[in-house]
Amino acid sequence: MTTELLIRPRTLCFRSSLSTGAGLRVGVEGFWLRLGDGLGEVTLLPGFGTEPPERAHAALAEAASALRGSAPPGSPDEVADRIGKIAILRETPATRAGVELALLDAGARHAGVPLAIWLGAELRSVRVNALLTDDEVDALASEARARAQENFDTLKLKVGAQPAERDAARLAAVRAAVGPNTRIRVDGNGAWSEAEARTRLQAFAPARLEFVEQPVPATDFDGLRKLRSLARIAADESIGVPGARDGLFGGKRPAVDVLVFKLPVVGGVLRARRYATLAWQVGVEVVVTSALDGAVSRAGAAHLACTLPVEGPAHGLATGHLLESDAGGYAISHGLCHLPDGPGLGIDPEVLGW
């Protein structure tokens, strides 16, 4: 079977707006991709580590030309080789992630095995955290209690959109609602200076956080490193800035305790796996998370998570319920993301209207 890259613009709308440290979000722009039987997805987050739409358009056009008439890849190494020959994808991580995923899905489908197995791992269910979205203290506590009763052992909150004392009160309410054993993590989306982050982290200390994700701007690697004296620190958007590898891993010790991979920011499954190997060598944990994207990209992230240690932190892939429509999304129950045993990603292209 020969392939041609098919491209369809898409807008994912949230059921309700989401408050973050970087502002209010109501949806995400991007593209659905199809390459033969393989599915891909481009999620654009300008300002959060991805290219802007006009650059993605150019990259998709170049990728479509380069891949026209090619057969399904025979191995993940062959996928990496094809991606490496498309120069513009080196500078467009979201497009790279989407095109690469379409190739990986096509190759695994052609081999007749789930993508995780094609990558050399075992197919399994993946532990996931619940993202709490209510802003008001009482409603947030009720939401936290409900998610804990559904057997989520890790909860995540967005912080930074409200004053420090308000966020501290929200965290205190969540901790009181779920007790001492449930893990709680927060994401500041780079909203604070190092000085403000210190004040926030001190105020958050009674909640006993698992880690604090991106408390300072993406380029402030020194700030991330210094804040490790107050809490376990995770990098998200920092992974997508120039010089990230030196910034995160240079010096006497890493800048963070945890790397948080969003496929459109890190540049795809294969690049994430290389990053993860480097992280483990210096004692940094790895979490795979949604970019609040659609079912296809989250599926790729779930298969990536299967290649990571089982005993690692919960992954951030239970976000499909935030979308108005989530055709093809994997089932989430009892704090687990359940991967289908079909070939490739296991998503029928017809479900997405192809």
* Residue ending a domain, choose from 88, 112, 136: 112
Among residues 260, 318, 256, which one has the least CA distance to residue 286?
A: 260
Regarding whether 325 and 263 lie in a shared domain, the answer is: yes
Same domain, 27 and 158: no
- pTM listed for this prediction: 0.95
**CATH at residue 106:** 3.30.390.10
Dihedrals phi, psi of 131, to nearest 5 degrees: -90, 120
pLDDT in tens, the chain (354 residues): 557 999 999 999 998 877 676 665 778 999 999 999 999 999 999 888 899 999 999 999 999 999 999 999 999 999 999 999 999 999 999 999 999 999 999 999 999 999 999 999 999 999 999 999 998 999 999 999 999 999 999 999 999 988 999 999 999 999 999 999 999 999 999 999 999 999 999 999 999 999 999 999 999 999 999 999 999 999 999 999 999 999 999 988 999 999 999 999 999 999 999 999 999 999 999 999 999 999 999 999 999 999 988 788 999 999 999 999 999 999 999 999 999 999 999 999 999 998
Residues 35 and 78 in one domain: yes
Do 226 and 107 belong to one domain?
no
Query: Are 107 and 122 within one domain?
Result: no
The helix/strand count (H/E) of the chain reads as 12, 13
**Is 203 in the same domain as 271?**
yes
Listed in sequence order, the residues at least 6 apart from 144 whose beta carbon sits closer than 8 Å to its beta carbon are: 132, 155, 173, 174, 177, 178, 182
Q: Which residues contact 221 (CB under 8 A, 6 or more apart)?
A: 238, 247, 248, 255
Q: Count of CB atoms within 10 A of residue 206's CB?
A: 11
| Same-domain pairing of 212 and 315 | yes
The total domain count for the chain is 2
Containing domain of residue 47, as a range? 5-112
Please state, in angstroms and as integers, the Cα–Cα distance from residue 293 to each residue in 11, 19, 24, 330, following that order.
Answer: 10, 16, 16, 13
d(C-alpha 305, C-alpha 116), whole Å: 9
Say yes or no: 55 and 148 in one domain: no
Q: Using CA atoms, how far apart are residues 60 and 56, in angstroms rounded to an integer?
A: 6
Please give the positions annotated as active site.
158, 262
Residue range 191-250, pLDDT digits in tens? 999 999 999 999 999 999 999 999 999 999 999 999 999 999 999 999 999 999 999 999
User: Of the candidates 214, 206, 226, 207, which has an alpha carbon nearest to the alpha carbon of residue 187?
Assistant: 214
CATH assignment of the domain containing 233: 3.20.20.120
**Whether residues 259 and 315 fall in one domain:** yes
Q: Return the amino acid letter for 40.
A: G
**What confidence score (pLDDT) does residue 99 get?**
98
Quick one: pLDDT at residue 1?
57
Using the 3D structure, point to which of 112, 147, 172 is the last residue of a domain: 112
Query: Among 78, 112, 146, where does a domain finish?
Result: 112
**Structure confidence by residue, pLDDT tens digits, 33-66:** 999 999 999 999 988 889 999 999 999 999 999 9
Are 150 and 229 in a shared domain? Answer: yes
Q: With contact defined as beta carbons under 8 Å apart, do 298 and 317 qualify?
A: yes
In this prediction, residue 24 carries a pLDDT of 58
CA 24/CA 17 separation, integer angstroms: 6
227 and 150 both lie in a single domain: yes
Residue 42 forms beta bridges with which residues? 31
User: Phi, psi at residue 204, to the nearest 5°?
Assistant: -85, -10
CA distance 12 to 283: 36
Could you tell me the two tokens for 329?
């999304």
Residue with tokens 């891949």: 67
- For the record, the structure tokens of 64 come out as 């479509």
Give pLDDT, residue 161.
87
293 and 214 within one domain: yes
